[in-house]
Structure 1
Amino acid sequence: MSFEPAEWPRRLRSQEWYGGVSRDNIYHRGWLKNQGYPHDLFDGRPVIGILNTWSELTPCNGHLRELAEKVKAGIWEAGGFPVEVPVFSASENTFRPTAMMYRNLAAMAVEETMRAQPIDGAVLLVGCDKTTPSLMMGAASTDIPSIVVTGGPMLNGWFRGERVGSGTALWQMSEDIKAGKMTQDEFLEAEQAMSRSSGTCNTMGTASTMASMAEALGMALSGNAAIPGVDARRRVMAQLTGRRIVQMVKDDLKPSDILTRDAFENAIRCNGAIGGSTNAVLHVLALAGRVGVDLSLSDWDRLGRDVPTILNLMPSGKYLMEEFFYAGGLPVVLRRLGEAGMLHKDALTVSGGRIWDEVSDAVNWNDDVILPVERALTASGGIAVLHGNLAPSGAVLKPSAASPELMRHRGRAVVFEDIDDYKARIADEDLDIDETCVMVLKNCGPRGYPGMSEVGNMGLPPKVLRRGITDMVRISDARMSGTAYGTVVLHTAPEAAVGGPLAVVRSGDMIELDVPGRRLHLDITETELQDRLKAWTRSEPPPASGYARLFHDHVEGAESGADFDFLKGCRGNEVPKDSH
């Protein structure tokens, strides 16, 4: 049987493996045929990798195998050859010490998987927090035509007639336990209500935020972000995505064509409008670094500062992702931004058209979910980026989730040297702390934890909670879950573990927080600060070996996205040499 590749606009990558009659071509083709594929599937049609982050230990992504079948159906319909490829899946709720430590490993593994295997395009099948940025980062590094489809959020949780937002309710109820407002049995009863269907967090946590970022960046089909995971329309979206990737390969529509400066500016403004997670700052900065777009923390502040938060969703507001979908989803928010002159309307998307063409006719079906600007949750939303002698390289705070009365505050520092110190002392009735104090947590940044865990939203001392106090100023070099809330300063950089000023804060020092003025100040003299920094020494040695050592030696600071220093820029998808 001769082999004559089908007509295509250009020679596809997969033909380096399958297109010909050489010994190497027969080796690659013949082995794959043991799966029962007929010969004409190798005739030059595009091979589409479905990069699936399904795992039984990533429960948010537990339904992605079903969605993958719908993606396959769409690829077959459009004339492509689908192959499902399992890839590294970092679960936020099972990985220790933190899933963030493995985002870069996942991105690196995905990049090498894409480059080393015979795929012409990729469907990035994602959900749980770190899977979305890690797969987009890997795709950006290879620049193979790629499209995102997410697993979607869980259905609303309900407990005793009230909405229960995944994550958000967990933080609230755990504080209520300490305050004596809720019993342990009631907490256990509420547990099942928090996660009653397949899907990711149903609040505007990091998973839903990153799904929204993918759509705002143009890397997912319009409307993808908000469809619940168990809704039939999520399966339709998966099938349509499968169809679309085949045409993207034909058009050679690549991540570098879509992930432009304008696209990133659209995403930053979108994040402000939806009250998105502070984790998006890290992931979007890292993604920009992969495509060579010069994006900085100052861009987050400049672009998001005047964006009103109009999405009334937990943790900033009242509703959950299910209502967001019914109200019209992200296209409505993007339309509002466009009408306000805050959207680059000509930005290209995976549809092949302009983002404005995708959203200009979007209809808001519930203006208590997607609010009019005059009723915005926060008139000046976005992510506030703070600087000062305590955060020379920056720190972030989410105004829509903070207490307005604490946005300007001066208080006495109560310092916890690390998370173990915090856990050991926070419930001590003799701890010298009240609601006017500023809680400071050290050594929880990229190198310090290691991996930068979501512990920045420190629970308040029980003795303060029992007095009805629900928020205090908290400062750390850690992250917090996108489902969390409070006046929490995060990502303080440089982090304590590398000798940043946070490392030398002492209990009793006075700290000034001025969010409108974008200032975070340790109230000691410059001479005293420099003397403390000179005397500082790192207490913990670096890991001896393994991935932890690689992470420690090469992770960059939170201010630039905490990616590895050797993974900046696009390395392309040149076909590796054949060894057979």
Structure 2
Amino acid sequence: MAQDEKKKVQLRSASWFGTNDKNGFMYRSWMKNQGIPDHHFQGKPVIGVCNTWSELTPCNAHFRQIAERVKNGIREAGGIPVEFPVFSNGESNLRPTAMLTRNLAAMDTEEAIRGNPIDGVVLLVGCDKTTPALLMGAASCDLPTIVVTGGPMLNGKHHGKDVGSGTLVWQAHEEYKAGRITLEQFMDMEASMSRSAGTCNTMGTASTMACMAESLGTSLPHNAAIPAVDSRRYVLAHLSGMRIVDMVFEDLKLSKILTKDAFINAIRTNAAIGGSTNAVIHLKAIAGRIGVDLSLDDWSHGKGVPTLVNLQPSGKYLMEEFYYSGGLPAVLRRLGENGMLNNDALTANGKSIWDNVKDSECYNDDVIRPMDNPLVASGGICILRGNLAPRGAVLKPSAASPHLLKHRGKAVVFENFDMYKARINDPELDIDENSIMVLKNCGPKGYPGMAEVGNMGLPPKVLQKGIKDMVRISDARMSGTAFGTVVLHVTPEAMELGPLAAVQEGDYIQLDAHNGVLHLEVSDEEIAARLEKLKATQVIMRTGGYMEIYRERVLQADEGCDFDFLVGCRGAAVPAHSH
């Protein structure tokens, strides 16, 4: 955009800093105590750098350096960077689950953006919930916005082999429980897993949501996969800082990028990368904030899309190999060439997604598989329905055992996670590899916060037989780094007296992922009678504080687990304040 045209654009920050009256005096004067010169308040766009840096969020602990590179880019392009913190919900430390505070972080982000004198915003995200939370908050304001991810950590290294963050824990712990490795060998792996700054290096939820942000068009190309400590991560941060300034002058708001076509692209991308089931919840929540009608049925757009990315937990490699093999642009090109991408969808750099990826190359066909040699022929998230999940449940076929995708078994029931922990190691537990493990009361209201406990570890008596997978069903979530034939997000949840609450020990359950069916072999009348009996004895817990707000106002998994009062785009307008 020409300089003369830029001068004609009415900047939002001008209503704070652009008046020669008492209010303008006060807004400018207090900002000047940071050493800002007077000419910076004259027609330069103010860019917020929304930072989730925290030493308690190790995935995001390097964001001070990332922020400085973004700010350098903003200055070079003629903007004024203003960095501000928002709540940082780290997956690895925060109890009871980071999902409990995703909406809190989104509220913080929304109000910080709307209430302050900024014309555009850069979202610094990385750890699982920070990406959806900040996109949700920004979407409700609808200013020009660009995402900069912190990037994945380097490959873990243990005894000469690459090991994946998260995935190593699940695998090694099962090996220890089965008696195949000692406690000393298990603990020896700890230091091997996380050896640099960055998010999980598997295709877990952090990497998945980074890919979702890029496939939605909210970041520059290659943002998703550049390793955190690769110098090109800093280059991308600098270029993103430059780009947001032009986005302000172009009035390229989130609502122009986050269209229904963009969300369909993200759903198909999730299938192609073998992405986390958590994307189902987060994409719905982001769509709800920008005003796009996205439902579980829209995940059918991922059906038939092959899983091309050969990464743990579905496959073999890690995020370093993914980036050095061509990264997400190489995947998107393969989708676009085969009619599986809405090629005209607009992205943050002002180009269509196809223009961004049409010349991308793949440098390793084992890491990013060709369409005719996929890791999984149809890798899209499987949506299940039936009398056990009237409003839906999800399963990730690329992480499941093919022989269990159609299965009938007897239920072994855990009423809550504490009961699971108390029973699972009991040698007298009546369970074998044909059983179906059922976990209740771990949904949005039940846990609360819908913790990642759905991938229940198998009982030692089964592991010792060499069995590595069983069908597991719950209203919980699971880590994107986890694997197995795990049915998640059963809706309505047990705490809401959905049919899951009625499952009893010994009931038979049918799973047919090929036809999207989850069926409890109990009559509708018996299910209703059981639920009526439970309703009579149900006690509503009062906890006070944020947790009570959460339980009262959180929506179910099929609705994105947002708060009912936060759904929708409220825009960036804020009443003028007179001092």
Per the shorter chain, which TM-score range?
over 0.9
Q: Which string of whole-angstrom CA distances, capped at 9 and with x for unpartnered residues, describes residues 119-165 of structure 1?
A: 00000001000000000011100001100000000000111122110
Structure 1 window deviating more from structure 2 (395-404 vs 540-549): it is: 540-549
Residue of structure 1 equivalent to 2:160: 161
Find the counterpart in structure 2 of residue 533 from structure 1: 531
> In 2, are the aligned partners of 1:103 and 1:131 still within 8 Å (CA)?
yes
Question: Which one-letter code corresponds to 1:345 in the other structure?
Answer: N
* C-alpha RMSD of matched pairs (Å): 1.1
Letter in 2 for 1:53: T
Contact in 1 for aligned 2:6/2:249 (Cα 8 Å): no
What is the identity, as a one-letter code, of the residue corresponding to 2:91?
E
Question: Equivalent residue for 2:310?
Answer: 312
1:328 aligned to 326, 329, 333, which one? Answer: 326
**CA 1:69–1:553: 2 relative to 1, 3 Å:** same
Amino acid at match of 1:483: T
User: What's the CA shift for 1:8?
Assistant: 2.3
Q: Counterpart amino acid of 1:452?
A: M
CA distance in 2, matches of 1:540, 1:56: 38
The alpha-carbon deviation at position 530 of structure 1 amounts to 1.6
Secondary structure of the 2:189 match is: helix
Are the aligned partners of 1:444 and 1:452 in contact in 2 as well (CA < 8 Å)?
yes
Alignment correspondent of 2:412: 414
State the AA in 2 paired with 1:560.
Answer: E
Indicate conservation of the 8 Å contact 1:13/1:575, yes or no: no
Residue matched to 1:384? 382
| Counterpart for residue 460 of structure 2 | 462
How many angstroms does 1:540 deviate by?
Answer: 4.2
Render the CA deviation track for 1:454-502: whole Å, top value 9, x for unaligned. Answer: 0000000011111100000000000000000000000000000000000
Q: Match of 2:248, SS?
A: helix
What is the letter of the counterpart of residue 372 of structure 2?
E
Match for residue 510 of structure 1 among 508, 511, 522: 508
TM-score normalized by the length of structure 2: 0.98
In 2 relative to 1, CA 473–394 (structure 1 residues): closer, same or farther, beyond 3 Å?
Answer: same
1:106-505 → structure 2 map (5 Å cutoff): 106-300=105-299, 302-505=300-503
Name the structure 2 match of 1:553.
552
Shift of 1:549: 1.2
Residues 222-260 of structure 1: per-residue CA shift (max 9 Å, x gap): 111000000000000000000000000000000000000
Query: 1:38 matched to which residue of 2?
Result: 37
Q: Is the 8 A contact 1:6 1:44 kept in 2?
A: no
Structure 1 residue identity aligned to 2:542: P
User: How far does the alpha carbon of each residue in 1:333-372 deviate from its partner, in whole angstroms, 9 at most, with x for none?
Assistant: 1001101101000000001011100000000000000011
- How far the C-alpha of 1:10 sits from its partner, in A, is 2.4
**Seq. identity, %:** 63
Instruction: Report the CA distance shift for 1:282/1:7 in structure 2 as closer, same or farther (over 3 A).
Output: closer
1:358/1:549 Cα in 2 relative to 1: closer, same or farther (>3 Å)?
A: same
Distance 1:531 1:540 in 2: 18
Q: Is the CA contact (8 Å cut-off) linking 1:6 and 1:45 kept in structure 2?
A: no
Shift of 1:33: 0.7
Q: Is the 8 A contact 1:122 1:146 kept in 2?
A: yes
Structure 1: runs of 5+ lacking an equivalent: none
The 3-state SS of whatever aligns with 2:527 is: helix
Which residue identity does 1:578 align to in structure 2?
Answer: H
Question: 2:469 is matched by which residue type in structure 1?
Answer: D
Q: CA deviation at 1:544?
A: 3.7
C-alpha separation in 2, matches of 1:375 and 1:28: 60
For residues 179-205 of structure 1, give each alpha carbon's deviation from its aligned partner in whole angstroms, at most 9, with x where no partner exists. 011111112211111100000000000
Per the TM alignment, residue 579 of structure 1 is displaced from its structure 2 partner at its CA by 4.1
Separation (CA, whole Å) in 2 of partners of 1:524 and 1:258: 46
The answer to whether the Cα contact below 8 Å between 1:115 and 1:576 also exists between their aligned partners in 2 is no
* d(CA) in 2 for partners of 1:237, 1:539: 53
Q: Tell me, what secondary structure is at the counterpart of 2:238?
A: helix
CA drift of 1:558 comes to 0.2
- Which residue does 1:29 correspond to in 2? 28
Deviation at 1:392, TM superposition (A): 0.2
> 2: distance between equivalents of 1:345 and 1:230?
31
Deviation of the 1:11 alpha carbon: 1.9
Return the letter of the residue paired with 2:361. Answer: V
For residues 488-531 of structure 1, the C-alpha deviation after alignment (integer angstroms, 9 at most, x for no partner) is 00000000000000001001000000000100000011221121
Moved over 4 A (4+): none
Q: Indicate the larger mover: 184-193 or 542-551.
A: 542-551
Letter in 2 for 1:467: K
SS in 2 for 1:158: strand
Distance 1:327 1:274 in 2: 13
**Aligned partners of 1:567 and 1:180: how far apart in 2?**
48
> C-alpha distance in 1, partners of 2:505/2:465?
23
